[in-house]
Structure 1
């Protein structure tokens, strides 16, 4: 037994010496850099690196110059740069070292109760301001970032309102959320609201192309555009898909078929088959839904791609498209509530068939 522990200690010491030697040669830094997810590796480091969101960036630049920052409320779709923007602003305002002491970042979806607000947030908000870096603006206040603030309970938001008022002279708050309607009005009225919109397609393509070139991923024509289109404006999802695709290609070039397989897109012939079943009888719709179930395609993805096909269909009139879109909305609501996928898709197929065949 003693020999076993001695061998384990010797192996651990040898591994430590090897790590130290790699660190001296700079190999450890390269390995750590390769292990960093690309979403974090290419996250904007300063306010000038933020892609799109020109209006928000312009206002924050002015706040940086005047050192006068209000309470902030960032809202919009996921993957549009809300959290990255406020973190980049904090680095520009305090410097990378001082920002660790002056910024408190909490994910409100995990820590969303009133106890967290009364203890952790309140204690940080009322603490004295740490010494700033003379090379940066370093205004005399701290920043509390509450990510996913729309997941906070109503009581926690009500408690946060009083803390924002009481310690506003030494602490600024930035609430980050996807749905501004879930923030109580007394809290939202104390913040300057900034809406983050989905990135324009050309800017998202340019950003993903930059990441692909930096990482040496060879992309064929249309591959980057397909990544961006499937991400639906979420730059974070597109970057993660690119990193996953880079593991899949392994020296070959990334094409649109690989991207479609990676993101789980349903092949166009399957969607066209569903569309063609509307012109046939109920048995054809039943067979089409059964084939979808056997293939394992998720109903939410079927619904999204079928919606795009309906919008582009020239054989349907505007009123028919509107009725089918409302039908899809009801089916989507039922799926979100936990309804059976096969039954909902069959209901969609039968009702859409009646709408499509109506004169």
Structure 2
């Protein structure tokens, strides 16, 4: 079973790369018999007195509806991933602050103990301050020695009290920061749960629609999806965008590509970073981590924080960000192709780089 799956994945890669390697290649639309929604044609006339059945949606309408549902699920996945990343960072920061607070409390206890020892020493000296004791001495040498010790003692006391004050201020600041981080942590947990519900709702709605289709209808629906992707890719290639894109992958870019393409055939899993399943940005972030370059976890953060390059200057290993909300990402392989984790219900695969609406290109190792 695994051997057949690997062989099928390898054939898919070879065919996809061959198809996508020629700029301007036209993609054949499905034949009329394949594209026509015969199973969804208008029903025969109902018997007299029988309420008419509502007309079925066309497969193209269903395709667009599913596309919208999965797009919203993908966008919500990015929001979930971002909230999860922020939650991890805030949790780590709260731990750091808690350790700093404990350390500060121990330091304050030590400083107070030293201050108490000074007070007790003064009490044992008859309760007189050191300067008064110096005035009462009759020995000039003792007086001079005492002046030196007195000045040193004064400085030590001032330093001790100043450190005590600073430590108390730091402790207060740590406490306030920890409280603020806790508030942010709780807010991000709420965002996570909201995004989780949105993802599950959108996927459930899409799966319900697909479950109502016959096997032949699902096959024709897949062909319609492929046809739409091919048409978009053909238009993109025909624009001549690849004529100037002759850059070669860097060493790290080649390593990232090797990792990403090794995941072909593994299922999409929202919020997943491998090794058994990936979402779109989980795949790209893990690929670049494997190449020795840590990048942001989500496609939106990758778009916001990584250096951008003109699409005509892109090279293999660059990340192509899709849709106006930067909710999807794929890794450019060269020759007009990407490797990506498409959506729930699909596997990591190779696709045309222009098969979706491109927002821009970023380069992790610029």
| TM-score of the two chains, using structure 2 as the length reference | 0.22
Q: TM-score normalized by structure 1?
A: 0.23
Answer with 1 or 2: which has the greater Rg. 2
